[in-house]
Structure 1
């Protein structure tokens, strides 16, 4: 079983609840907690520098604002920064977020190892998730595995990601087409790009480019 775990959760009750589950139900006792992403990152860096690395990160997605200026304000940013230093650390997200598309994006884009939705079955699911991840499995929540919405989740390819990144930087479709041609990325015709962008608008139910960019950032895609 995991010997050292980092828990990032800003609500004290939830934080202590996770620790109690890890202690009593799974037998993990070497646990450090943090209420803010920057604090969690600092604890991670210290452990990494001391060669006493964490094997598992359990983090929420949303964190309350603090009177201090925080460099990292979300679990997504925390995961990215930690994984950039220790790519093999296991990551479980523990959150109230239950939208299948957002959960799916976390698995696809951040390569998280498990997801647990806060709720009445959270304790049982957290235990199963930690045990499954330790065994090398990717543990999806019942909100997806038991939900017909999973069949309609949005799947993006490399070109979709490129288009979203370029749109988020304010480039027009014409400017994007020129850049794709220069980089020999295809398809790059005007009609192909129009169709792709239109599909992205439909998939994410976006009203305009600004709305689309806001949605995909919220989903953790960018």
Structure 2
């Protein structure tokens, strides 16, 4: 079982709950807590520098604002910065976010190892998630496994590239010209038009501005 765990959670009751579950149900006792992403990152960096690595990060996604200026304000940023230094650290997200698309994005884009939705069955699910991740499994929550495939949007690298270009204000014609100049395929106007139209349909966006706002809210950009 994991021997050293870092928990990033800004609500004290939830924080204590996670620690109690890890202590009593999973027999993990070397647990370090942080209420803010920056604090969690500093604890991670010190442990990494001292050669006393954390094996598992359990983090929320959203954190309340504080009077101190925070460099990292979300669990996504914390995961990204920690993974830059220690790519093999296991990551479990523990959050109220229950939208299948956003949860699925975390697995696809951040390669997290497990996800637990806060709620009535969170304690049991957290225990199962920690045990599963330790065994090397990828533990999906019921919010994703119970969703039909039609309800989950799967984006490839080309879709992400198109979304990034649209977010920067480029039109479809400008994107086509840019792709042709960089010799990136596919780059025909009809293909780009179809892919962008599909993104509009998938995210039920009314226009480009709406589309960009939706994907940013989902953490895709």
Q: TM-score, normalised by structure 1?
A: 0.97
What corresponds to 2:168 in structure 1? 169
Residue 187 of structure 1 deviates from its aligned partner by: 1.2
Matched, 1:98 2:98: yes
Which secondary structure does the structure 2 equivalent of 1:26 belong to?
A: coil
Q: TM-score, normalised by structure 2?
A: 0.97
Distance in 2, matches of 1:147 and 1:193, equals 29
Distance in 2, matches of 1:66 and 1:208, equals 35
- Detail structure 1 runs of 4+ shifted over 2 Å in the superposition: none
Cα RMSD after superposing both structures: 1.0
Residue 201 of structure 1 deviates from its aligned partner by: 1.0
Which secondary structure does the structure 2 equivalent of 1:116 belong to?
A: strand
Equivalences for residues 69-218 of structure 1 within 5 A: 69-148=69-148, 150-218=149-217
Distance in 1, matches of 2:3 and 2:30, equals 6
Query: Which string of whole-angstrom CA distances, capped at 9 and with x for unpartnered residues, describes residues 132-175 of structure 1?
Result: 00000000011221233x44310111110110111111222122
Residue 97 of structure 1 deviates from its aligned partner by: 0.6
Distance in 2, matches of 1:77 and 1:214, equals 18
Instruction: State which drifts further: 103-112 or 166-175.
Output: 166-175
- Structure 1 residue runs of 5 or longer lacking an equivalent are none
- Structure 2 residue runs of 5 or longer lacking an equivalent are none
Residue 9 of structure 1 deviates from its aligned partner by: 0.5
Which secondary structure does the structure 2 equivalent of 1:216 belong to?
A: helix
What corresponds to 1:61 in structure 2? 61
Which secondary structure does the structure 2 equivalent of 1:10 belong to?
A: coil
Residue 130 of structure 1 deviates from its aligned partner by: 0.1
Which secondary structure does the structure 2 equivalent of 1:92 belong to?
A: strand
Distance in 1, matches of 2:21 and 2:100, equals 25
